[in-house]
């Protein structure tokens, strides 16, 4: 683990593996460890740079408004400080929202783009769901417990809860084991989710793009596919047995499909 100052804040990151750089941007309320089930496979072929976005993990949590565009600017600045001229970029949910801004604003820096459980512009349904998380977080006064009680049920299918309760419990324990996000930082991050609107930026994206959904995801469902398809040359894959978090619900299928895309779009 290491920290550097980029875009005016200290950003915490971890590097694992060798090869072409792969930037991993976390989702709402998560730190770099959220990709723990992927990095082991990815690092065999890529130099994985996992970061804590502003407001989460060990990165700074400035008392000022956040936006998905600002998080993208943070990532671009981090790349510059680390001397990474160009990289593959992957994000899930909030991470995907930042990823599309990164690819649109800094096309020369993005070799390929992987957008998982993504949405181009927050609609009334998504806004309502996130507002519920905000109310729950305020009521509990504990972001980790809010994630477990409020967000995780939207991320996993009922079938997984029924068939593998011990596994779901282990995911909850994992959430509790990570650096606790302050309530105000969560409220700033979640406000960025509610305000996200990169729809007009999608035609600026030049990188080869993989878009994936979970078939049973309600938060970022396939209703967003037509708008995301405006990214030129994009391809879409649906994980049929998953909800919002295929990275946990079907790890082998997710890793296999995403690695195949990354291999197909190597820089060399």
Residue 27: which CATH number? 3.40.50.1820
The DSSP letter of residue 44 is T
Per the prediction, the chain carries an average pLDDT of 98
Q: Average pLDDT for residues 251-259, to the nearest whole number?
A: 98
Q: Quick: pLDDT tens for 146-205.
A: 999 999 999 999 999 999 999 999 999 999 999 999 999 999 999 999 999 999 999 999
Q: 13: helix, coil or strand? A: strand
Whether residue 1 is predicted with pLDDT greater than 90 in this model: the reply is no
If you write DSSP's letter for every residue of 201-266 in order, what string do you get? GGGG--SEEEEEEETT-STT-GGGHHHHTTSTT-EEEEETT-SS-HHHHSHHHHHHHHHHHHHHT-
Name the domain count of the chain: 1
Q: Quick: pLDDT tens for 24-82.
A: 999 999 999 999 999 999 999 999 999 999 999 999 999 999 999 999 999 999 999 99
pTM for the complete prediction?
A: 0.98
Task: Give the structural domain span for 192.
Answer: 2-264
């Amino acid at each position: 683990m290491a920290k550097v100052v980029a875009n005016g804040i200290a950003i915490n990151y971890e590097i694992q593996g060798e090869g072409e750089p792969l930037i991993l941007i976390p989702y709402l309320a998560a730190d770099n460890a959220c990709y723990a089930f992927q990095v082991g496979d990815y690092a065999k072929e890529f130099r994985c740079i996992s970061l804590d976005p502003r407001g989460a993990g060990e990165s700074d949590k400035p008392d000022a408004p956040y936006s998905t565009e600002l998080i993208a600017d943070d990532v671009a600045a981090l790349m510059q400080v680390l001397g990474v001229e160009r990289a593959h970029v992957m994000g899930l949910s909030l991470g995907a929202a930042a990823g599309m801004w990164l690819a649109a604003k800094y096309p020369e820096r993005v070799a390929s783009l992987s957008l998982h459980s993504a949405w181009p512009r927050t609609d009334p349904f998504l806004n309502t769901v996130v507002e519920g998380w905000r109310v729950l977080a305020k009521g509990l006064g504990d972001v980790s417990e809010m994630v477990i009680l409020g967000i995780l049920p939207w991320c996993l299918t009922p079938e997984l809860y029924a068939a593998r309760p011990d596994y779901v419990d282990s995911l909850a324990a994992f959430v509790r084991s990570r650096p606790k996000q302050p309530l105000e930082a969560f409220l700033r991050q979640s406000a960025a989710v509610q305000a996200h609107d990169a729809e007009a930026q999608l035609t600026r994206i030049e990188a080869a793009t993989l878009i994936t959904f979970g078939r049973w995801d309600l938060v970022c469902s396939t209703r967003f596919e037509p708008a995301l398809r405006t990214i030129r040359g994009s391809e879409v894959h649906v994980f049929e047995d998953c909800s919002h978090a295929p990275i946990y619900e079907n790890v082998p299928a997710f890793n296999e499909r995403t690695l195949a895309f990354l291999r197909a779009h190597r820089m060399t």
